[in-house]
Amino acid sequence: MSALHFNAFVMNTASHINHGQWRHPDSRQTDFEDVDVWIDLAKRLEDGLFDAMFFADVVGVYGPADGDYTPNARQGLQIPSNDPAVLLSALAVNTRDLGFAFTSSVLQEHPFAFARKVSTLDHISRGRIAWNIVTSAQESAARNFGLPGLVEHDERYRWAEEYVDVTYKLWEGSWDEGALVKDREGGVYADASKIHRINHVGERYRVEGPHLPSPSPQRTPLLYQAGASGAGRAFAARNAEAVFLAAPTPAIAAETIVETRRLAVEAGRRPEDIKFFQGISFVIGSTEEEARRAEAELDEYASLEGYLTHMNFGTRPDGTPYPPETQLKDIHTNASQSILEWLRRSVPDREATVADLGKVLLSRGRLVGTPETIADKLEEWQRAGVDGINVVNWRIPGSYIEFIDHVLPELQRRGLAQTEYTPGTLRRKLFGRDHLDERHPASRYRGAFGGEA
C-alpha cells in the first residue's frame, strides 16, 4: 500500500469552508492578515511532512450578482480576503520542502503577466509552486473584470484551454535549455538564439513574447484542477496533474476517477499521470465518545447562514428563494455544476431538496473518530482510487496540529503517510520528475519556436 499525499486546504480569509469557526477563541484565522499566522502554520505543516498548502481563492462574492452581501460580510465568508499569490513568497523563504498551490482564475490576469508571476514564484521557492486552474463561478467575479456577466459554463473551459495554451508556450517553448549562460568572461548572460517569441494569435489573446523569466526549476508549475462536470473532467483529463474532489462517498469518487482517467488515456496520456485529492475535514478523539463530544462543540460554533450563503443553490439568480420542496436536480446553475451534483448525491435514498441543503452542507466531507478509525476510512478512500487528501480545517492552526500529532503517526505506521521528504521540486516529490512528461500537451512546445530569433 503506497503512502497518501496530504495538502492543507486553506484560504487567505477568515471563513473558508467550515463557517462560524472563526468565533472560537483558539481560532487564528480571524487574524489572517497577519503573515506570522501563515508562516507559523507552514513551518508546522512542514514539520508534519505535509506535501503542500493548497490556497483556494475567489475574485467575487457569493450570491446573486445584484444581491445583498450583508451575510457574507457578517460571517467573514471569503470577504475580506487577500491575494494568496503574494503571500506565497513569504512562505517559500521560510520553508524548504513544503509545496504551495494557489488558485488563479482565467478571469483575473492576462496570461503573459500570470506566467511571469508563476515563474518568479517557482524560482523563489526553488520549484515548489502549483497552480489550481479555475474558470470562476460567480457573476460578480465576471463583472469585476469588465464582463457583463458570467460566460456560459462550458464556454469558460474553452476560454481556459486558450489561456493555458499561452502559458504553456511561454513556460515550455520560449526558452530552450542552455539559453541562460551567465558567462562572465565572455560577457554573455543569455543566448538570444535560444530565446524565442511565441507569436500566439488566438480567439481571446495575442501574445508575442518572449517569456521574460528564464526557465524556473519546474518550468510549468504543478497543475491542479477541480472541475467534475463533463467539461471540467475533459479539461482535467487533458491538462491536470492533480484533481481536487469533493465527492460524498468513496464510490462516487471512484466514478469520477475512472471516467477522468479514461478521458486522459483518450487524450494520449496514462491513467497514472493524474493524482486525485479528496477534500475531508477531521474530528479526532482518543475514543469515539471523545470525538463525538468534539464534534458537538464544533457544531455549536457552526453558522448555517454561512454554509447556505456559500453554496447559494437555494436562491434563484434574481435573489428570490426556491421553495423548500424544490429538488436539487431541477435547479439549473451556471456556477459550480459538479458541487451541486455532489450535494444531490449526498442524500442516497431519495432526491435531495432545497430543504435538505442545510443538513447536507453542515455534515458533508467530515470524518469523526479515533486515529485508528479515521485511518480505516482513509484506506477506503485510497481503495476507491484517491491518491491524496486535501485536509479541510475547522480552525487554524488547531485542526492541523491535531491531525499531525494524532492521525499521522497511525497513518505512518500503516505506510499511508510519508516519513521523510523526497528532495527537490514539488513535481519530483509527487511524480519523480521536475518537468512535465512528454505526454502532456504542453510538451509539444519544447523546441517549437526555434525559427524566431
Within a domain: 139: yes
Determine the average pLDDT of the residues in 357-382: 88
In terms of pLDDT, which residue wins out, 315 or 166? 166
Domain range for residue 255?
3-287+364-443
Asked whether residue 256 is marked as a ligand-binding residue, the answer is no
Q: Collapse the DSSP code of 96 into the 3-class scheme (helix H, G, I; strand E, B; otherwise coil) and give the result.
A: coil
Q: In whole angstroms, what is the distance from residue 250 CA to residue 188 CA?
A: 56
- Asked whether residue 226 is domain-assigned, the answer is yes
Question: Is the Cβ–Cβ distance between 90 and 53 less than 8 Å?
Answer: no
Q: Which CATH number fits the domain that encloses residue 192?
A: 3.20.20.30
Q: What is the pLDDT of residue 348?
A: 64
What does each C-alpha distance from 147 to 144, 150, 222, 264, 337 come to in angstroms? Answer: 7, 7, 29, 32, 21
User: Considering the domain boundaries, does residue 450 fall inside one?
Assistant: no
Distance from C-alpha of 9 to C-alpha of 336, rounded to nearest angstrom: 18
Q: What is the DSSP string of 227-287?
A: --SHHHHHHHHHH-SEEEE--SSHHHHHHHHHHHHHHHHHTT--GGG-EEEEEEEEEE-SS
DSSP state of 323: P
In a domain, 432, yes or no: yes
| Amino acid (1-letter code) at residue 156 | R
Residue 332 known to bind ligand: no
- The answer on whether 419 is annotated among ligand-binding residues is no
Query: Is residue 322 in some structural domain?
Result: no
* pLDDT confidence bin for 400, thresholds 50/70/90: very high
pLDDT tens digits, one per residue of 214-262: 999 999 999 999 877 889 999 999 999 999 998 989 999 999 999 999 9
In this predicted structure, the answer to whether residue 114 has a pLDDT above a threshold of 60 is yes
- Report the alpha-carbon distance of residue 338 to residue 322 in Å, rounded: 20
Q: What are phi and psi of 323, to 5 degrees?
A: -60, 145
Q: Report yes or no on 340 lying in a domain.
A: no
pTM: 0.91
Taking all residues of the chain, what is their mean pLDDT, rounded to a whole number?
91
Question: Is 424 a member of any domain?
Answer: yes
Q: Indicate the range of 91-95, 299-303, 413-417 predicted with least confidence.
A: 299-303
Least confident of 112-121, 132-141, 356-365, 388-397: 356-365
Is position 301 within any domain? no
Q: How confident is the model at residue 314 (pLDDT cuts 50, 70, 90)?
A: low
The model's confidence at residue 428, banded by pLDDT at 50, 70 and 90, is very high
Give residues with Cβ within 8 angstroms of 401, minimum separation 6: 44
From 96-105, 138-147, 188-197, 268-277, the region with the lowest mean pLDDT: 138-147
Q: Is residue 189 part of an annotated ligand binding site?
A: no
Task: Determine whether the annotation assigns residue 103 to a binding site.
Answer: yes
Number of domains in the chain: 1
Percent residues over pLDDT 70 in the chain:
89
Band (pLDDT 50/70/90 cuts) for residue 312 is low
- Would you state the pLDDT for residue 331? 63
Chain segment 151-171, per-residue pLDDT in tens: 898 899 999 999 999 999 999
